[in-house]
Amino acid sequence: MQIVTAREFRANQTKILSAARSGQSVMLTSRVGNFKIVPITSDDEIVRRDIKISLNEVRDHMEGRVELPNARDLFSDGD
């Protein structure tokens, strides 16, 4: 694992990000906390896309363009 300070990261961003992209574990330490630097995966992109679709659906509902079921409808067992 490579551990770098925020100052080192600012000075060597390309080198450090390339190491993370190639699979090396990189931890960034700073006054505000510690962070693990990892590349975005295809799973992350899928989740991002699904969240965006969901937010658009909620916006359309709030603006009256789409009717959505309420929570009781979603969880009713047919009673």
Give the mean pLDDT of the chain: 89
Please state the rounded mean pLDDT for residues 50-79.
84
Which stretches within 1-79 are classed as H helix?
6-11, 13-21, 42-62, 71-75
Same domain, 26 and 50: no
Cβ atoms 5, 29 nearer than 8 A: yes
Please state the rounded mean pLDDT for residues 34-60.
87
pLDDT computed for residue 48 by the predictor: 81
Number of domains in the chain: 2
Same domain, 30 and 46: no
Cβ atoms 27, 1 nearer than 8 A: yes
Is the model's pLDDT at 63 over the cut of 90? Answer: yes
Please state the rounded mean pLDDT for residues 15-42.
92
Name the region of 17 (left: φ>0; alpha: ψ -120 to 50; beta: rest).
alpha
**The whole model's pTM is what?**
0.53
59: containing domain: 42-75
Same domain, 26 and 49: no
Is the model's pLDDT at 68 over the cut of 60? Answer: yes
28, 33, 37: which is closest to 9 by C-alpha? 28
